[in-house]
Amino acid sequence: MAWITTKEGKHINTDWFDQERQINVNKSEADKRNSEDAKSNTKDKYEKAPGLIYGVARINNKFIDIDGYSNKSTEKGMLSDLAKAVEKYDKTEADGIRDMVKFNEISQSHYNKQDGGNQFICEWEEVPSASRYVDKNGKDSILSGNDGVEIESRDGKYYVHIRIPRR
Within 10 A of 68 (CB to CB), how many other CB atoms are there?
25
- Model confidence, pTM: 0.65
Tens digits of per-residue pLDDT, 69-79? 999 988 889 98
Report the C-alpha gap between 21 and 23 in whole angstroms: 5
Tens digits of per-residue pLDDT, 99-116? 888 887 776 655 555 444
pLDDT at 84: 93
pLDDT at 69: 92
pLDDT at 22 over 80: no
Strands 150-154 and 130-134, bridge-based pairing: antiparallel
The single-letter code of the amino acid at 93 is E
Tens digits of per-residue pLDDT, 118-155? 567 788 888 888 888 887 777 777 777 777 778 888 88
Average pLDDT of the chain to the nearest whole number: 75
Report the C-alpha gap between 77 and 98 in whole angstroms: 10
106/50: higher pLDDT: 50
What is the distance, to the nearest Å, from the Cα of residue 50 to the centroid of all Cα atoms in its chain?
A: 19
Confidence of residue 8 (pLDDT cuts 50, 70, 90): low
pLDDT at 86: 92
